Amino acid sequence: MTVSEALKQRLSANAFDPQAELSREQITELVQLATEAPTSFNTQNWHVIAITDPEIRKQIRAAAWDQAKVTDSAVLFAVLGNTNVVENLPEVMTMATNDGIVAPEIKDWFETNAAQFYKDKPELSRDEALRSASYLAMSLMLAGQEKGYGSGPMIGFDPKEVANILKVPQNYVVTLLLSMGPLLPEGNWKRKPRKKDILSFDAFS
Ligand SMILES: Cc1cc2nc3c(=O)[nH]c(=O)nc-3n(C[C@H](O)[C@H](O)[C@H](O)COP(=O)(O)O)c2cc1C
Protein backbone atom coordinates (compact mmCIF):
# COMPACT_ATOMS: atom_id res chain seq x y z
CA MET A 1 0.00 0.00 0.00
CA THR A 2 1.35 3.43 -0.94
CA VAL A 3 1.01 6.47 1.30
CA SER A 4 -1.42 7.94 -1.25
CA GLU A 5 -3.57 4.81 -1.05
CA ALA A 6 -3.50 4.82 2.74
CA LEU A 7 -4.52 8.50 2.79
CA LYS A 8 -7.38 7.93 0.34
CA GLN A 9 -8.65 4.73 1.94
CA ARG A 10 -8.64 5.92 5.55
CA LEU A 11 -12.01 6.97 6.87
CA SER A 12 -13.40 7.65 10.29
CA ALA A 13 -15.03 4.36 11.15
CA ASN A 14 -17.90 3.70 13.52
CA ALA A 15 -18.63 0.00 13.00
CA PHE A 16 -15.73 -2.03 14.40
CA ASP A 17 -15.71 -5.81 14.72
CA PRO A 18 -16.31 -6.34 18.45
CA GLN A 19 -14.85 -9.88 18.27
CA ALA A 20 -11.52 -8.74 16.85
CA GLU A 21 -8.44 -8.58 19.02
CA LEU A 22 -4.95 -7.19 18.61
CA SER A 23 -2.03 -8.64 20.54
CA ARG A 24 0.23 -6.45 22.66
CA GLU A 25 2.96 -7.05 20.07
CA GLN A 26 0.72 -5.79 17.26
CA ILE A 27 -0.30 -2.74 19.29
CA THR A 28 3.32 -2.01 20.21
CA GLU A 29 4.42 -2.23 16.59
CA LEU A 30 1.73 0.26 15.51
CA VAL A 31 2.66 2.76 18.21
CA GLN A 32 6.36 2.36 17.51
CA LEU A 33 5.73 3.15 13.84
CA ALA A 34 3.69 6.19 14.83
CA THR A 35 6.61 7.56 16.86
CA GLU A 36 8.43 8.06 13.56
CA ALA A 37 6.42 11.30 13.37
CA PRO A 38 8.38 14.53 13.86
CA THR A 39 8.36 16.73 16.96
CA SER A 40 9.63 20.23 17.59
CA PHE A 41 13.30 20.09 18.70
CA ASN A 42 12.92 16.28 18.72
CA THR A 43 11.13 16.63 22.07
CA GLN A 44 9.01 13.50 21.56
CA ASN A 45 6.59 14.99 24.08
CA TRP A 46 3.93 12.36 23.74
CA HIS A 47 2.56 9.26 25.37
CA VAL A 48 0.04 6.65 24.25
CA ILE A 49 -2.21 4.58 26.48
CA ALA A 50 -3.59 1.47 24.76
CA ILE A 51 -6.80 0.55 26.53
CA THR A 52 -7.77 -3.08 26.17
CA ASP A 53 -9.44 -3.75 29.53
CA PRO A 54 -13.23 -4.00 28.89
CA GLU A 55 -14.09 -2.49 32.28
CA ILE A 56 -11.97 0.60 31.68
CA ARG A 57 -13.41 0.86 28.17
CA LYS A 58 -16.93 0.92 29.65
CA GLN A 59 -15.98 3.75 31.98
CA ILE A 60 -14.45 5.71 29.12
CA ARG A 61 -17.49 5.12 26.92
CA ALA A 62 -19.67 6.68 29.64
CA ALA A 63 -17.38 9.74 29.49
CA ALA A 64 -17.31 9.77 25.68
CA TRP A 65 -20.89 10.39 24.57
CA ASP A 66 -21.60 6.65 24.79
CA GLN A 67 -19.82 6.15 21.46
CA ALA A 68 -19.98 2.44 20.63
CA LYS A 69 -16.53 2.36 19.00
CA VAL A 70 -14.97 3.14 22.38
CA THR A 71 -15.83 -0.37 23.56
CA ASP A 72 -16.17 -2.23 20.25
CA SER A 73 -12.82 -1.67 18.53
CA ALA A 74 -9.95 -4.12 19.00
CA VAL A 75 -7.97 -1.40 20.75
CA LEU A 76 -8.69 2.10 22.03
CA PHE A 77 -5.79 4.54 22.18
CA ALA A 78 -5.59 7.68 24.26
CA VAL A 79 -3.02 9.90 22.55
CA LEU A 80 -1.46 12.36 25.00
CA GLY A 81 0.73 15.41 24.53
CA ASN A 82 3.10 16.64 27.22
CA THR A 83 2.83 20.36 28.08
CA ASN A 84 6.17 20.06 29.85
CA VAL A 85 7.51 19.99 26.31
CA VAL A 86 11.20 19.45 27.03
CA GLU A 87 10.78 16.76 29.69
CA ASN A 88 11.94 13.86 27.47
CA LEU A 89 14.57 15.80 25.57
CA PRO A 90 17.70 14.85 27.60
CA GLU A 91 16.75 11.17 27.31
CA VAL A 92 16.05 11.19 23.56
CA MET A 93 19.07 13.34 22.72
CA THR A 94 21.29 11.05 24.79
CA MET A 95 19.98 8.16 22.66
CA ALA A 96 20.96 10.13 19.56
CA THR A 97 24.46 10.98 20.84
CA ASN A 98 25.00 7.37 21.97
CA ASP A 99 24.13 6.22 18.46
CA GLY A 100 26.60 8.74 17.03
CA ILE A 101 23.83 10.53 15.13
CA VAL A 102 24.11 13.82 16.98
CA ALA A 103 27.29 15.45 18.27
CA PRO A 104 27.33 16.33 22.01
CA GLU A 105 27.45 20.07 21.27
CA ILE A 106 24.33 19.75 19.09
CA LYS A 107 22.60 17.90 21.92
CA ASP A 108 23.46 20.80 24.23
CA TRP A 109 22.22 23.31 21.66
CA PHE A 110 18.87 21.52 21.33
CA GLU A 111 18.38 21.25 25.07
CA THR A 112 19.33 24.86 25.84
CA ASN A 113 17.33 26.40 23.02
CA ALA A 114 14.26 24.21 23.45
CA ALA A 115 14.14 25.01 27.17
CA GLN A 116 14.42 28.72 26.37
CA PHE A 117 11.82 28.54 23.60
CA TYR A 118 9.09 27.05 25.80
CA LYS A 119 10.02 28.69 29.14
CA ASP A 120 7.07 30.52 30.74
CA LYS A 121 4.94 30.04 27.63
CA PRO A 122 1.97 27.93 28.70
CA GLU A 123 -0.04 28.59 25.56
CA LEU A 124 2.79 27.64 23.21
CA SER A 125 3.57 24.61 25.39
CA ARG A 126 -0.02 23.41 25.19
CA ASP A 127 -0.02 24.04 21.43
CA GLU A 128 3.10 21.88 21.18
CA ALA A 129 1.50 19.10 23.23
CA LEU A 130 -1.49 19.10 20.87
CA ARG A 131 0.68 19.34 17.76
CA SER A 132 2.94 16.45 18.71
CA ALA A 133 0.07 14.22 19.77
CA SER A 134 -1.79 15.03 16.55
CA TYR A 135 1.16 14.11 14.34
CA LEU A 136 1.49 10.86 16.24
CA ALA A 137 -2.24 10.15 15.97
CA MET A 138 -2.29 10.69 12.20
CA SER A 139 0.77 8.47 11.80
CA LEU A 140 -0.94 5.83 13.91
CA MET A 141 -4.01 5.93 11.68
CA LEU A 142 -1.88 5.49 8.55
CA ALA A 143 0.13 2.67 10.14
CA GLY A 144 -3.16 0.97 11.03
CA GLN A 145 -4.50 1.51 7.53
CA GLU A 146 -1.53 -0.33 6.07
CA LYS A 147 -2.27 -3.28 8.36
CA GLY A 148 -5.90 -3.33 7.17
CA TYR A 149 -7.40 -1.77 10.29
CA GLY A 150 -9.97 0.98 10.45
CA SER A 151 -9.64 3.90 12.81
CA GLY A 152 -11.91 6.38 14.51
CA PRO A 153 -10.47 9.58 16.01
CA MET A 154 -12.59 11.21 18.73
CA ILE A 155 -12.71 14.47 20.61
CA GLY A 156 -16.22 13.70 21.83
CA PHE A 157 -15.28 12.98 25.44
CA ASP A 158 -14.93 14.73 28.78
CA PRO A 159 -11.17 15.30 29.02
CA LYS A 160 -11.12 15.62 32.81
CA GLU A 161 -13.05 12.42 33.36
CA VAL A 162 -10.98 10.47 30.86
CA ALA A 163 -7.74 11.79 32.38
CA ASN A 164 -9.02 10.75 35.78
CA ILE A 165 -9.97 7.22 34.68
CA LEU A 166 -6.59 6.72 32.98
CA LYS A 167 -4.57 8.33 35.81
CA VAL A 168 -3.01 10.82 33.42
CA PRO A 169 -0.48 13.21 35.03
CA GLN A 170 -1.46 16.91 35.16
CA ASN A 171 1.09 17.97 32.56
CA TYR A 172 -0.41 15.77 29.82
CA VAL A 173 -3.34 16.70 27.56
CA VAL A 174 -5.57 13.86 26.37
CA THR A 175 -5.52 15.11 22.78
CA LEU A 176 -7.50 12.37 21.13
CA LEU A 177 -9.15 9.03 21.70
CA LEU A 178 -8.57 6.71 18.77
CA SER A 179 -10.39 3.47 18.12
CA MET A 180 -8.58 1.00 15.91
CA GLY A 181 -9.06 -2.51 14.58
CA PRO A 182 -10.77 -4.63 11.95
CA LEU A 183 -14.09 -3.20 10.75
CA LEU A 184 -17.46 -4.84 10.17
CA PRO A 185 -18.31 -5.31 6.47
CA GLU A 186 -21.36 -3.01 6.79
CA GLY A 187 -22.20 0.07 8.79
CA ASN A 188 -19.44 2.51 7.94
CA TRP A 189 -19.87 5.67 5.92
CA LYS A 190 -18.16 6.09 2.60
CA ARG A 191 -15.38 8.61 2.18
CA LYS A 192 -16.59 12.16 2.36
CA PRO A 193 -15.61 14.50 -0.50
CA ARG A 194 -12.87 17.02 0.13
CA LYS A 195 -13.04 20.75 -0.45
CA LYS A 196 -10.71 21.58 -3.31
CA ASP A 197 -10.17 25.33 -2.95
CA ILE A 198 -8.09 25.33 0.21
CA LEU A 199 -4.80 26.15 -1.47
CA SER A 200 -3.44 29.55 -2.34
CA PHE A 201 0.06 30.47 -3.38
CA ASP A 202 2.28 33.10 -1.80
CA ALA A 203 -0.47 34.75 0.27
CA PHE A 204 -3.89 33.91 1.60
CA SER A 205 -6.60 34.38 -1.00
C1 LIG B 1 -9.97 15.89 16.09
C2 LIG B 1 -11.08 15.02 15.60
C3 LIG B 1 -12.10 14.70 16.46
C4 LIG B 1 -13.15 13.87 16.04
N5 LIG B 1 -14.09 13.47 16.94
C6 LIG B 1 -15.03 12.56 16.56
C7 LIG B 1 -15.90 12.00 17.52
O8 LIG B 1 -15.86 12.28 18.72
N9 LIG B 1 -16.83 11.11 17.09
C10 LIG B 1 -16.91 10.73 15.78
O11 LIG B 1 -17.75 9.90 15.45
N12 LIG B 1 -16.05 11.23 14.85
C13 LIG B 1 -15.12 12.12 15.21
N14 LIG B 1 -14.21 12.58 14.29
C15 LIG B 1 -14.28 12.12 12.91
C16 LIG B 1 -14.73 13.23 11.94
O17 LIG B 1 -16.11 13.41 12.04
C18 LIG B 1 -14.26 12.82 10.54
O19 LIG B 1 -12.85 12.83 10.50
C20 LIG B 1 -14.81 13.75 9.47
O21 LIG B 1 -16.20 13.65 9.37
C22 LIG B 1 -14.20 13.42 8.09
O23 LIG B 1 -14.48 12.08 7.77
P24 LIG B 1 -13.32 11.03 7.41
O25 LIG B 1 -12.36 11.03 8.59
O26 LIG B 1 -14.02 9.73 7.24
O27 LIG B 1 -12.66 11.49 6.18
C28 LIG B 1 -13.17 13.40 14.70
C29 LIG B 1 -12.12 13.73 13.85
C30 LIG B 1 -11.07 14.50 14.29
C31 LIG B 1 -9.92 14.80 13.37
Instruction: Characterise 155 by phi-psi region: left (phi > 0), alpha (psi -120 to 50), beta (else).
Output: alpha
Question: Which of 12, 73, 188 gets mutated to test ligand 1 (max ligand atoms within 8 A of its CB)?
Answer: 12
What percentage of the chain has pLDDT greater than the value 70? 100
Write down the pLDDT at residue 35.
98
Q: What is the CATH number of the domain that holds 112?
A: 3.40.109.10
Write down the pLDDT at residue 177.
98
Instruction: Give the residue from 189, 172, 164, 188 showing the smallest Cα distance to 64.
Output: 164
Q: Quickly state the pLDDT bin for 191 (edges 50, 70, 90).
A: confident
Mean pLDDT of the chain: 97
Residue 70 falls inside a structural domain: yes
pLDDT digits (tens, 9 = 90+) for 17-68: 999 999 999 999 999 999 999 999 999 999 999 999 999 999 999 999 999 9
Distance from residue 109's CA to the centre of ligand 1 (Å): 39
pTM of this prediction? 0.96
Residue 65 falls inside a structural domain: yes
What SS3 class is residue 148?
A: coil
Residue 97 falls inside a structural domain: yes
How many separate domains does the chain show?
1
